[in-house]
Amino acid sequence: MGEIITSFSKAKPYFLMIFLQFGSAGMYIISMVTLNHGMNRYVLVVYRNAIAALVLAPFALVLERKTRPKMTFPIFLQIMVLGFLEPILDQGFTYLGMKFTSASFTSTIMNAVPSVTFVIAVIFRLEQVKIKEVRSQAKVIGTLVTLSGALIMTLYKGPVIDLIWSRKTSHHGSSGDSSEKHWISGTLLILVGCVAWSCFYVLQSITIKKYPAEISLSSLICLAGAIQSLAIALAVEHHPSGWAVGWNSRLFAPLYSGIVSSGITYYVQGLVMKTRGPVFVTAFNPLCMVIVTALGSAILGEQIHIGSIIGGIVIAIGLYSVVWGKSKDLTPESTPAKVDHIVQELPISDKNCTDGTKLVIAKS
């Protein structure tokens, strides 16, 4: 019995991360179905973040009632900016780009977020690059490889891969004439979402040091995003029918994304990171891409192009190169032998997946 419990404890992080990737993949599929049924993307953003704020708020009130610091005006401004970067820019542009391309294509491109985050961190001097060190070379090369994969997916589609179930579901396909005409613009919109998400991570890593209550901060960011996206949604969606929800995907999508993508994802990532670290969490991100590709083809009838397969593999290789470089930053050999060193936490994750995955960057 003891050996069984020990084996289960060792396998638990793997099962949790696989479960998390399936949950994240479901968000892409459900969101795509809802958008295809005519729901305004900003209305979806409003509902999603409002539900996420409601889900996280009780935990924040109970678990962080003694540790939550006082709110100051500078922190309030940072939270409003965070609410604009992730819920509005990231989710808004990503949803629009996904309508022009596909759910599988979007999930693949989102694997470029760690590399984009690395570039932004270097620009703002949150990340030090010592080109003579192997780990820095791995991060730089991985970033270039990832961006090359995104470029391949944008410029080269190639022939369609005909799967067994593709013929049966082709009449439900989301890759119609609109997607064909706006493939490049859709990719650019998704990349804008990647940049916004990366900027969100960089600013979040700064804000969390001044407001070290992670659940409260996440709930406030979702609330800020819901309020700001509400203003935009009211301006672009005037008809009450656009806000109506029923017992269909228009209700299920915001519930699922708010509860699973924010509530459960936040908890599971934090739980696994405590025992296995952020690199372990990030290493499972390409699995979401594979799941979304399979489900998108089977359920949505999305066409899988050879260019997307090649680009996805290249992006995954670049991702693991960046992750490997970051893992070397976490080893004792790479940590400065100072007691008073400053540790800057930089989150890193895919669209699924969201709030709690962090890269730890040591600043000398």
What pLDDT, in 10s, does the model give residues 322-338? 888 877 876 655 444 44
Q: Residue 301 — left, alpha, or beta (φ > 0 → left; ψ -120 to 50 → alpha)? A: left
Q: Distance between CA atoms of 196 and 169, rounded to whole angstroms?
A: 34
Average pLDDT, the chain: 82
**Contact at 8 Å (CB) between 285 and 112?**
no
- Mean of the pLDDT values across residues 159-181? 57
Structure tokens at 325: 């470089």
Q: Distance between CA atoms of 56 and 221, rounded to whole angstroms?
A: 11
Can you give the length of the chain in residues?
364
Cα–Cα distance list, 29 to 210, 313, 314 (Å): 36, 21, 23
- Is the pLDDT at 276 greater than 70? The verdict is yes
- Is the pLDDT at 176 greater than 60? The verdict is no
Number of helices (H), then strands (E), in the chain? 16, 4
Q: Distance between CA atoms of 35 and 197, rounded to whole angstroms?
A: 21
Q: Residue 354 — left, alpha, or beta (φ > 0 → left; ψ -120 to 50 → alpha)? A: left
Higher pLDDT, residue 345 or 285? 285
- Mean of the pLDDT values across residues 240-256? 88
Per-residue pLDDT band at 341 (split at 50, 70, 90): very low
Range from 198-202, 210-214, 262-266, 356-360 carrying the lowest mean pLDDT: 356-360
Question: Which sign does the torsion angle of CA 150, 152, 154, 159 carry?
Answer: negative
Cα–Cα distance list, 357 to 103, 132, 167, 270, 354 (Å): 22, 28, 38, 7, 7
**Contact at 8 Å (CB) between 364 and 341?**
yes
pLDDT at 330: 63
Question: Which sign does the torsion angle of CA 337, 339, 342, 348 carry?
Answer: positive
Cα–Cα distance list, 13 to 231, 272, 281 (Å): 40, 6, 9
- Is the pLDDT at 209 greater than 50? The verdict is yes
pLDDT at 168: 53
- Is the pLDDT at 257 greater than 70? The verdict is yes
Structure tokens at 176: 């119609």
pLDDT at 227: 96
**Contact at 8 Å (CB) between 145 and 318?**
yes
Give the model confidence (pLDDT) of 36-85 as tens digits.
Answer: 888 999 999 999 999 999 999 999 999 998 889 999 999 999 999 999 99
pTM of this structure: 0.80
What is the phi/psi pair of residue 345, to 5°?
-95, 125
- Is the pLDDT at 320 greater than 70? The verdict is yes
CA 119 to mean position of chain CA atoms: 17
Structure tokens at 211: 């407001």
Tell me the angle at which helices 285-299 and 306-329 cross, rounded to the nearest 10 degrees: 160
For residue 82, give the nearest of 183, 185, 163, 198 by alpha carbon: 198
- Mean of the pLDDT values across residues 235-264? 87
DSSP assignment of 275-318? HH-HHHHHTTHHHHHHHHHHHHHHHS-PPEEHHHHHHHHHHHHH
SS3 160: strand
- Mean of the pLDDT values across residues 239-259? 88
Residue type, 259: I
Range from 32-36, 155-159, 166-170, 205-209 carrying the lowest mean pLDDT: 166-170
